Amino acid sequence: MSLSAMKQDLHDRLWNAQQRWFALRDQGTTKRVIKLSGIRDARDPNLHLRNLIFTGATKRAIEETLKSFIEFAHERFGAQRLEDIGKREFKAFIEDGIARGLAASTLEAQVSHLVKLGCLTGKAQSAIALGRKLHHEIQELQDKGTLSGPERSTPSRQTAERALDILRGWDERHQARTGRPRAYHLAARLQLETSARSVSVTERLTPDRLKGVNLIEWIGKGGRPILTSVPPDLYAAVAEHLERTGGPLADRDGYRMAWRRAIEVAGGKATGTHGLRRRAAKNVFSETYRQLVCAGMSPAEARRQARAEAVERLGHSRDRLDQAACYLGPAA
């Protein structure tokens, strides 16, 4: 099989994996139901999730990694079919990434994507076992300082507020110049108030997501709806903008580029709109902790509950300590 044919085979398998999820979702099945089924069958919540893909963005990211991997396996080891690729190629690809100085976060993502390939080619158990081993090795290298960790810059409250003011001014000047309203500052404020992802406050935010009484419905990972209350003045501004334009609220790429410029002008370090999500999570954690301690709760228990509240606001399960460490830092 030629390299191009292998890539087409990969594309088809990934497409089918997403179609399997769409079919299950249309039948009313949720990710939670699938996880519980895996726990019942083999005490493994991911047992029945590994041959599914839930979003187009995930599919594109996996396909990008795996096409590079297929080229590597074809050129280095002469692989002719996806089924020819196994542990040897898997391990060599990650070792090559380590040698090239890739960050730990990039390597971790690559390992996860390679495990997905194993699950789609009938080699799930061996791929999962090797994936766990490589995840452990990557973590050890990062702990030793051999690998660089992910850059997660979080703007201070003051810097975020300055950047919001800058975006608001730019939006006003854009409207005065073109006659067309723009809502980048509203998208940024929504992220800061709700911890939502950038896509949720831009391209996915349409008039039907406004549920009244200051409630907005977000679409989270896997298509899960999340209902969040926002300040009345913000809700009114968003509703007015969407009524005038018909939605969506903003162009995602334009918003992200504008935010990077605004945060730099405000004196911050630009690492993308996800910094607003981290800022929002830290705000929730600190405010919840303060309220609980003032109500008489012990600091340790207040910290635990505040951490769970912040993680849940991000759209994850309350007990996800890995997400707490990612967004709040090890001190939380």
Instruction: For domain 157-274, give its CATH number from 1.10.3720.10, 3.40.50.1000, 1.10.10.10, 1.10.443.10.
Output: 1.10.443.10
Q: Which two tokens stand for residue 216?
A: 């907005």
pLDDT of residue 222: 60
Give the mean model confidence (pLDDT) for residues 225-247: 92
**For residue 207, what pLDDT band results from cuts at 50, 70 and 90?**
very high
**For residue 16, what pLDDT band results from cuts at 50, 70 and 90?**
very high
37 closest CA partner among 23, 49, 24, 22: 49
Q: Are 155 and 268 in contact (CB under 8 A)?
A: yes
Place of tokens 């200051």: 214
Give the mean model confidence (pLDDT) for residues 73-97: 92
* C-alpha torsion sign, points 272, 276, 282, 285: negative
- The length of the chain in residues reads 332
pLDDT above 90 (res 235): yes
In Å, what is the CA distance from 270 to each residue of 154, 322, 323? 9, 24, 21
Q: Which two tokens stand for residue 4?
A: 């191009």
- Longest CA pairwise span in the chain (Å): 68
pLDDT of residue 150: 54
93 closest CA partner among 121, 117, 125, 60: 117
Question: Per residue in 17-51, pLDDT tens?
Answer: 999 999 999 999 998 899 999 899 888 888 888 89
pLDDT above 60 (res 151): no
Most confident range (mean pLDDT) of 98-112, 229-243, 311-325 is 229-243
Q: Are 154 and 122 in contact (CB under 8 A)?
A: no
Domain segments of the chain: what residues?
3-143, 157-274, 276-328
**For residue 205, what pLDDT band results from cuts at 50, 70 and 90?**
very high
Residues facing residue 215 across a β-bridge = 229
Q: Give the phi and the psi of residue 253 in degrees, each rounded to 5.
A: -65, -40
* C-alpha torsion sign, points 144, 147, 153, 154: negative
136 closest CA partner among 94, 92, 73: 94
pLDDT of residue 223: 67
Q: Are 119 and 13 in contact (CB under 8 A)?
A: no
User: How buried is 313 (Cβ within 10 angstroms: 0-12 exposed, 13-18 middle, 19+ buried)?
Assistant: buried
Strands (E), 142-294: 215-219, 225-229
pLDDT of residue 148: 64
31 closest CA partner among 61, 10, 8, 55: 55
Q: Is 201 left (phi over 0), alpha (psi -120 to 50) or beta?
A: alpha
pLDDT above 60 (res 103): yes
Q: Which two tokens stand for residue 234?
A: 């913000």
**For residue 5, what pLDDT band results from cuts at 50, 70 and 90?**
very high
Question: Per residue in 254-290, pLDDT tens?
Answer: 999 999 999 999 988 766 888 898 899 999 999 999 9
Q: Which two tokens stand for residue 332?
A: 């939380």
